[in-house]
Chain A
Amino acid sequence: MKTLQDILQPQNLVYTKPTLMNDRPMHYCPGCSHGMVHKMVAEIIEEMNLTDHTIGICPVGCAVFAYNYLDIDWIEAAHGRAPACASAVSRMWPGHLVFTYQGDGDFACIGTGESIHAMNRGENITIIFINNAIYGMTGGQMAPTTLMGMKTSTCPYGRRADLHGFPLKMTEIAATLEGTCYVTRQSVHNVAAIQRAKKAIRKAFTNSLEKRGTSLVEIVSTCNAGWKLSPVEANRWMEQHMFPFYPLGDLKDTTEQQ
C-alpha cells in the first residue's frame, strides 16, 4: 500500500496546469468554457514549442483579458477587428503563428465583415471562435447565434424570428469560402470532447504555419452565468439544445487532399 507521500512525488506528476498559463486568477465565472480553451491553447503552443513565435489577437468580450493569462505575445484589437489585425501581423511576420481568439459577439456580430473577408482572402491565420449563444460580458444579451426561443435579457420571452431574425451559422458560411482550408466545430463539455478539440486546434495551428489558408475552429461552449444555470446543468443544456442546431464535426478539410 502506497502512502499519499509516496504518490505525491514530482516524478509521478502526470497532469498539471501548463507553464505558459501564469498564476494570475482568471476573471471568468466558475465553470466557464473559456478556461478550458485557454488551457488547451497554452498546452498546444507548449507542445509545438512555439512560445516565442506565437502572436495571439484578443477580442472584445469575455476573453478581452486573455493576454493576462497566457505568457505569449498578444495584441488587443478593436471590437471585431481581430481578423484584420491578424492578417496584418501574419503578413508582416510570415514565420509566426498568428491566431485570433474571438467570441460570438466579436466574430459573428460586429466583426462579421472582417471575419468573412479575412477568411475569403485565405490569410494564414487560425480563428478560434467561442460560441456560447449569448453576450456574456455585458450581461447576457441576445447574440446573433442565440437559438430560437432561447431567453436572454434582451429577449426575455425567447428569440422570435419575426422580431429578432434567425441564428447565424458563421461556421457553415466559412466552409463555403474558397480561402478556408479547415473549418470545424468542436466542444469542451467532457474529456473526450476536450481531446478532440485539442486535436482540431493543433491541426489548425499546423495549417497556419504551413500556409494553407485560414483555419476556423468553432468551440460550442457554455455561459452558465448568462444562461442562469449551474456549470454542470449548463453542459447538459448545451448537449440537449445547442448540439442539434450546431452539430459537431469537421465541415471542411482540404488539407488531406494537398
Chain B
Amino acid sequence: MSRNIGAIIVDTERCKGCGLCVEACPKGILTLATKKVNKKGYPYAVQTDEQQKCNGCASCGIVCPDGCISVYRVKEE
C-alpha cells in the first residue's frame, strides 16, 4: 500500500513561537523548542517525527501566520 510521507522545514528565525501549528498538526508531532530560542527570543516550532508519521498534509503551513513552514511530500510505494 502506498502512503504519503512528509517533512517540514521551519524558518526558525522567522518563527514567533505562537504554537498554532502545534495545535493544527493532526499527528501531534510538532512542538515548540524547549530551552532553545531564536535571535528574537521566541521558542521556535520543531518537528519530532521519529516514526515518519508526517503525511505532508500542510495543515501546519496553512495556519502559520508568518509563513515560516515549508512542507514536502513524497509517495512511498
Chain A residues engaging chain B, CB cutoff 8 angstroms: 1-2, 4, 6-9, 12-18, 21, 23, 25-26, 28-36, 39, 190-191, 194-195, 230-232, 235
- Asked if residues B62 and A15 are in contact (CB atoms below 8 Å), the reply is yes
**Chain B contact residues, majority secondary structure:** mixed
Bound-state Cα–Cα, A9 to B70, Å: 11
Q: Mark B5-45, 1 if CB is under 8 A from A, else 0.
A: 11101000010111110111000000000000000001000
**Contact indicator B65/A6 (Cβ below 8 Å):** no
Do the beta carbons of A14 and B19 come within 8 Å of each other? no
| Contact pick for A13, options B20, B62, B72, CB 8 Å | B72
Q: Are A14 and B67 in contact (CB under 8 A)?
A: no
Minimum C-beta distance from B8 to chain A (A): 9
The residues of A that contact B14 with a CB separation of less than 8 Å are 23, 25
B51–chain A nearest beta-carbon distance, Å = 11
Whole-angstrom distance from the CB of B75 to the nearest CB of chain A?
9
A35 contacts which of B52, B65, B72 (Cβ < 8 Å)? Answer: B65
Name B residues whose Cβ lies closer than 8 Å to a Cβ of A: 5-7, 9, 14, 16-20, 22-24, 42, 52, 56, 58-59, 61-74, 76
Q: How far is the CB of A28 from chain B (nearest CB, A)?
A: 7
Told that A4-B7, A8-B7, A16-B69 touch, could you supply 4 new A-B pairs with CB distance under 8 A? Answer: A30-B17, A36-B65, A231-B19, A232-B20
Partner of B67, one of A4, A35, A231: A35
Contact between chains at B5 and A2 (CB < 8 Å): yes
Q: Is the CB of A30 within 8 A of B52?
A: no
